[in-house]
Amino acid sequence: MQKRIVVKIGSSSLTGSRGGLNREAVAYFAGELAELYKRGYHPLLVTSGAVAAGFSAIGYAERPKKLHEKQASAAVGQALLMRAYQEALAEHGRVAGQILLTRTDFHSRQRIGNAVMTLEELLERSILPIFNENDTVSVDELKFGDNDTLSALVANLVKADRLIILTDMDGLYSADPRHDPNAVRYEKIDEIDEKIYRMAGGAGSGVGTGGMRSKLDAARIATRGGVPVFIGRASKIGDLVAAAEGGGRGTRFTTRLSSMPVKKQWLGYLSRPFGALIVDAGAQRALAENGRSLLPVGITGVEGQFHAGDVVEVRGPGGDIVGRGVVNYDMEDLQKVCGLPGPQVLEKLNGLHRLEAIHRDEWISLR
């Protein structure tokens, strides 16, 4: 089986500062992807650039901010983007297939299952799958936010050997190298903690949506799913192959974890919590460190409006997020039994089907 490498290319790498596709850049990346095939890899591409490619063609002076203008730009730009990729890949004897996804596709097991079936058929026939968010129908509250997140979810979905996130920066620095000449680049990072996040700034260009922080979010999702990550630059021949083989001009993020089920991906990174449960220190340790279920006795507070079967956030005594899970109680019932041991819960709530507020099989730690 060929090694699967997910490559994410951002808008700033494909378009000019005023929008429109940079055909030379598309041709370069097509050549790099074709070389991956020759080296025994099977690449999957997650590409941004539809809105950036389309807004100048549609007549806007700059990247639009209104939803309907962005959707119109994407409608034009997605066709331009795919045509450019198809023509550039044809020069290397390769064919691409388009897969457009929205956040709600990952909510539905049937829909994501259909996408996986399509994907596997494309891979079986050595077709390059090209993923993008379906910007023409997505609304802001249903969007991934940027394709960095989408690339991480795809990498976990296909159990990729590596996720390569390409940007206009050659990795993560201790400070912004454009303003601080003493900034130091990190070659390898084993854990993405708050110190690492503090080094990430905002969006890097006017044509894209994701800055370094969104790339760290994506790296965190992918590494938690067992996929190592490279964040960096590819502009010279051989750069992409170098990144796939553990080198390259960028920062490598390692992982010791195994692959994450799609259900856990959805729960941790795509679901929308309807409320929050505040837990004591003992319950926090049981959830985050010991893999236990959450019982009412460990809950000190309840926030929001939710019903049994909804997703809720769990916070520790200091307010920090511990994780997310599917709650087994309606909000009103859980408020009645917070802090009570099991026998008292069963006595107070007749007809209770299960004691756990959140079962460990319906839980993901985000610490």
Domain ends where: 236, 264, 292? 264
Per-residue model confidence (pLDDT) at position 137:
67
Same domain? 224 vs 340: no
Per-residue model confidence (pLDDT) at position 347:
87
Q: Which domain holds residue 356?
A: 271-365
CATH number at residue 74: 3.40.1160.10
Phi-psi region of 14 (alpha: psi -120 to 50; beta: other; left: phi over 0): alpha
Per-residue model confidence (pLDDT) at position 29:
97
Domain ends where: 241, 264, 287? 264
Same domain? 60 vs 194: yes
Give the DSSP per-residue string, 86-101.
HHHHHTTT--EEEEEE
Name residue 41's beta-bridge partners: 3
Per-residue model confidence (pLDDT) at position 296:
96
Report d(CA 221, CA 147) in Å as an integer. 13
Domain ends where: 216, 233, 264? 264
Same domain? 61 vs 189: yes
Nearest 5°: the CA angle 322, 133, 240 is 90
Same domain? 190 vs 300: no
Q: Which one-letter amino acid corresponds to residue 47?
A: T
End-to-end CA distance of the chain: give it in Å, rounded.
Answer: 34
Averaged over successive runs of 10 residues, the pLDDT of the chain (367 residues) comes to 90 80 94 96 94 88 86 90 96 95 76 87 95 70 69 91 93 86 91 83 46 89 92 95 95 84 77 92 92 95 94 94 94 95 90 88 88
Tally of structural domains, the chain = 2
Q: Residue 50: name the closest of 89, 77, 76 by CA.
A: 77
CATH number at residue 288: 2.30.130.10
74, exposed or middle or buried, with CB in 10 Å at 0-12, 13-18, 19+?
A: buried
Per-residue model confidence (pLDDT) at position 339:
95
Q: What does pTM read for this prediction?
A: 0.81
Contact 25, 53 (CB under 8 A): no
Q: Residue 100: name the closest of 50, 43, 66, 152 by CA.
A: 50
Q: Which one-letter amino acid corresponds to residue 18?
A: R
Same domain? 291 vs 158: no
Per-residue model confidence (pLDDT) at position 204:
46
